Amino acid sequence: MEISWTQALAWRMRRHYLIDRASPKDLVKVVDRLRGLHAQVMSSVDLALWARIDGLGRDAVADALWRRRTLVKMWAMRATLHVLPAADLGTWVAGLGIWKPGVWPLKNPEAIPAAGYIGKALRGKILTRAELAAAMSRLGAPARMVEGMLGSWSSALRQASFAGWLCFAPSDGPEARFTHPATWLRKAPPRPDNDEAFNVLTARYLGTYGPANALDLGPRWWGINQGAAKQRLAALGDAATQVNIEGGRFWMLASDVRELAATRPVEVVRLLPAFDQWVVCASRRVPAMLDAKYRQRIYRLQGWVSPALLVNGRMVGVWKHEQKGRTLSVAVEPFDRLPRWTRAHIGAEAERLAAFLGGDLKLTIAR
């Protein structure tokens, strides 16, 4: 079946709540649909949900994380921080179990035993990193393990998270604090078989990010190589199929093909924040999604992912915002000349942002 990228992007935008936005009561549902949110910068989590939910409160994410505990913050895909739905945490942890010791991101041989000490120390406790180090020492952890855990890029903390023994708790001022998920959620989430869990997560991924290929699923989303990703796609059997899109072959769920084929183009403008899931997990070498000559404007050095101006699913510019007193300055920089109709839509998006963050809007659009 021949599909166009115009159709594919419109279908994917709808799956991302970027056409029909969700309501505030659906916050956890949106996080689940997006398969977690990249949380290296927490303000990006707020803005990623703002882009998809009408009427979102400024404290909604903090409320879900620290009061309701319907979301959990931990290290997950690509060994980066994510916010995940708490109710399904066991499936996520089981999926992370496909990573093998000795292979990235589990190359440090001491990380696994150190994670065991971390898991024991956090049972029934909420601890800062210094308090965690002291508790590990009392449990008999060697000094080198404790010192390694105190490093800024601790593989032991990540490994404890992958194993389901660590998640974040509310910070104590500027200091991050950690606890055990079974303590924080008051019970250990059910955990299926690792392979079964990853098959479930692969199918869910295709339901949101399809049509996609092994490069999209593997290195860009989960953090496995393309060969392993191809095996995971094949493991879905008849539940997944391949479609032709303008000369390329891409995977999606067989149950979604008819809906995709019936999808019609839309005219939609969205302002997406830094590290937005649409951008992080994009088929970034597809010209219909991003002109190659602007790739480095979006995907910058040291893993930084810029805020993106999205028009009909295509990344066509960057933007930034700054708040000083009552003034919220929003500067939008398209890569090329945009259709005239987009200007009013950009203005509407900026007004939504000003209402969310609070402030008087000052909008500038380059060119």
- Averaged over successive runs of 10 residues, the pLDDT of the chain (367 residues) comes to 91 97 98 97 97 98 97 96 96 92 84 95 97 97 92 88 96 94 86 92 97 95 94 96 94 96 94 97 90 96 94 98 96 97 97 97 94
Which candidate, 164, 179, 265, 255, places its Cα nearest to that of 210? 255
pLDDT given for residue 186 in this prediction: 82
pLDDT given for residue 184 in this prediction: 94
pLDDT given for residue 153 in this prediction: 74
pLDDT given for residue 361 in this prediction: 98
pLDDT given for residue 190 in this prediction: 82
pLDDT given for residue 191 in this prediction: 87
pLDDT given for residue 73 in this prediction: 98
pLDDT given for residue 284 in this prediction: 85
pLDDT given for residue 178 in this prediction: 98
pLDDT given for residue 327 in this prediction: 97
